[in-house]
Structure 1
Amino acid sequence: MATYHRASVGPHWRGIRAHLGAERSRRGTVMLDRDVDGLLAGLHRTIRWTPPVLRIDCDPSMDGDFVLDGRGLVLKPSFFLRTPAVMHDARDAAECILIYPAPVGPDQGPGVWAAGPPAGALGNLLGRTRASVLTAIADGVTTTGALAGRLDISAAAVSQHTAVLREAGLITTRRHHGNVLHNPTETGLTLLSRPNR
């Protein structure tokens, strides 16, 4: 298993972790904008939220009701699962974990599977780190903290690079409930040869 991981997953682990970080950030923004109802309603096509019941179509062998009765529900995005799964310890149901698929769109896939920073002319033009910041933002990594984690640089360095990218008209930045969110502009997407959103 370790050999398989090194060969097929390990080289892409940073991109996978960054994708999951971006998914958590996105879900946090949804919760801030639309409350818990909006968050639960949009997790996955097989998850339906009709307050106070959360119906999850997953493994048929797990058919039944699980009453939280005041216990927490932990949401965990998964890169590899394609259908939701529920985990809980029947002997000690202190918390229930709902693992849901983190979707990988066509614009995000290249960033997850690409090994290393952007190469070629873009890296030469902008500098490799700044090109990596722009690429990560286009992949959906929108917060300064998530960018720092994906690129393994400090938040202060991210702020310096995003300031330059913003001045050049390649990204926009806005505050949202205490978070700083970065998004690519049409010019930034064009520079990356990405379709405009």
Structure 2
Amino acid sequence: MNQKLIRLQLLGCGTLSLLLAAEWTYSQYTLKQLQTLLEPRPQTESPAEQLPNIADNSGSAETYSDIVDRPLFVEGRKPVAETNPTDNLQTQDSGQIDDWELIGVYDKNNKPTALFRKRNEAKKFLKITEEQSISGWLLKQIHADNVLLQQGSQEKSVVLRKPRAQVKPPVPGKPAVPPRPPQPNAVAKPIEPVPNENPENINDN
């Protein structure tokens, strides 16, 4: 009886010893892993990345002048062809000067410039400065509302074309009121003179 009890106690003590040894081994293994994770890693020098070059999109004064020179409401908004200063005395375009109309006067680089447009060709423009020619006429002076052209002894003034007056569209739902015709002046009728009574007839009565 006592021997069996002693054997059971020895077996229980051995089993507990094995469990304690396994637990200690597992704790040591976990501690090593934790230390490995907490150790500082050596920093590796990575090559410096080169930043991309950003193009400068800010326009210069010449780019701004090109934008201003592009005529509005024209398909493509292409810059108007400039005349060559060395060809001042040569004809820039065939045809008569009456085929061109003056549609604008502006300053470019503190230099007055006149903008012409071909009457029969809505998309054909020409800008010239003083001492340059158009259709055989030399541009002498540029004013705010007209330009002065010269051909030999002849001079011609071209007036700046004024924009058309905008007509307001009629309000929907309201009929358009026609303009009232002017009323004729009433002719005053002459006043008929009252016949004077004869004093002799009064006395006879």
Answer whether TM exceeds 0.5 for this pair: no
TM-score (norm 1): 0.20
Compute the TM-score of the two structures, normalised by the length of structure 2.
Answer: 0.19
Q: Which has the higher contact order (CA 8 A, sep 6+)?
A: 1
Q: Whose helix proportion is higher, 1 or 2? A: 1
Query: Looking at CA atoms only, which structure, 1 or 2, has the larger radius of gyration?
Result: 2
